[in-house]
Amino acid sequence: MQNYEQLEKSAQHIVQRVRPSIWQISFHYPTPTNCWLLKDKDGLTLIDAGHTWSSKFILAAIESIGHPLRRIIITHAHPDHAGAANELAGKTQAIVMAHQSEIPFLQGQRTMANEKGSLICRAILSTGRLLGSLDSPSIERVQPVADGEELGSLQVIHTPGHTPGSISLWDADEQAIFCGDNLLFSMGAVRVGLPWFTLDRSTQNKSLKRYLDLPAQLLLSGHGPVYAGDVTSKIRKLI
């Protein structure tokens, strides 16, 4: 476990600087969940927006870093990644961006619980929906992003499977992959992310192969700690 410079800390969260231009905001409950702030030429980019209750912590982190928030990129529409996006966009004027296939879920036109896919995953999603914890507050405006598009210093990679419009982001300057829920570093190993919450594991597996072209040295996942090392060789062993 590496020691990074800590900016803020509470019973619910911690903000730490993992690279000069990348900050991790990690929420402890109900499971360790991350969002990321990246300093770009025009200001900050937020990658994922945590749960609905995360916005005050994210706004405090933005204020202490001291640059304006320009864009909020949602890796996928699960409520632990998109929850606070609408509130944050309203308070900061940042543009929300996501893959086209994910936008109907973010705007309340469709629910992930009704999608085709793994029966276990669909049962979990349906239960989440019944409990009112699946669908995040609808986001007024979402700009679609496509595979290969460049957003500041990041490149979009469409990596479907976990959800239809899951995206990853490649930061060539930092050799970092923001992988959403496709992978996570847990108990000392890089693992395929969240199988019970993944609609289509075989499509996810194909998506993971796209990471092999990247000389990644940093894996920044939606959940769990940072993995710093040879990401490509770890992924090769998984697929």
Which residues in 174-213 contact Zn ion (CB under 5 A)? Answer: 181
Give, in order, the Cα–Cα distances in Å from 72 to each of 69, 75, 85: 8, 10, 7
At residue 108, φ and ψ (nearest 5 deg) are 75, 10
Q: How far is the CB of 76 from Zn ion (least distance, A)?
A: 5
The interface region with Zn ion, picked from 57-65, 71-79, 118-126, 210-218 by CB under 5 A, is 71-79
Q: Do 97 and 149 touch, CB atoms closer than 8 A?
A: no
Q: Name the residue nearer to Zn ion (CB basis): 66 or 131.
A: 131
80 binds Zn ion (CB under 5 A): yes
Rule CB under 5 A: choose which of 79, 83, 222, 225 binds Zn ion: 222
Q: Name the residue nearer to Zn ion (CB basis): 16 or 163.
A: 163
Q: How far is the CB of 157 from Zn ion (least distance, A)?
A: 16
Candidates 195, 194, 197, 189; CA nearest to 227 is 189
Q: Name the residue nearer to Zn ion (CB basis): 83 or 222.
A: 222
Helices (H), 131-200: none
Task: Please name the residues in contact with 21: beta carbons below 8 A apart, sequence gap of 6 or more.
Answer: 38, 39, 40, 173, 174
Q: Which residues bind Zn ion (CB under 5 A)?
A: 78, 80, 181, 222
